[in-house]
């Protein structure tokens, strides 16, 4: 008889965080692409370094959450 495995709440939270992070990156990419087409990209250029740093920090946080969730889920078993 096999055990039924249920995802923990931390794993669900990390999955949602990854989903919304990737959606945000995709949305910003589309917005920059459209800004380049319309011709307002010079207005967005000053914010690029700040946004890039913010994206990197969020990625580091999500990777730490993924590692923590993996450890918690493996200990829980």
The residue behind tokens 């055990």 is 3
Q: Where are the domains of the chain?
A: 10-71
pLDDT tens string 1-55: 566 667 788 889 999 999 999 999 999 999 989 999 999 988 888 888 998 899 9
Name the H helices within the chain. 9-38, 41-44, 48-76
Q: In angstroms, what CA-CA distances link 67 with 47, 71, 72, 73?
A: 30, 6, 9, 10
Checking if the pLDDT of 67 tops 90, the result is yes
Q: Give the confidence band of 76 by pLDDT, cuts at 50, 70, 90.
A: confident
CB 13 within 8 A of CB 66: no
pTM: 0.80
Assess contact for 3 and 67: CB atoms under 8 A.
Answer: no
């Amino acid at each position: 008889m096999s055990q039924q495995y249920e995802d923990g709440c931390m794993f669900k939270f990390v999955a949602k965080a990854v989903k919304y992070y990737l959606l945000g990156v995709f949305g910003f990419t589309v917005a920059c692409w459209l800004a380049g087409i319309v011709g307002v990209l010079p207005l967005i250029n000053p914010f690029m370094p700040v946004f890039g740093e913010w994206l990197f920090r969020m990625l580091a946080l999500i990777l730490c959450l993924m590692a923590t969730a993996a450890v918690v889920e493996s200990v829980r078993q």
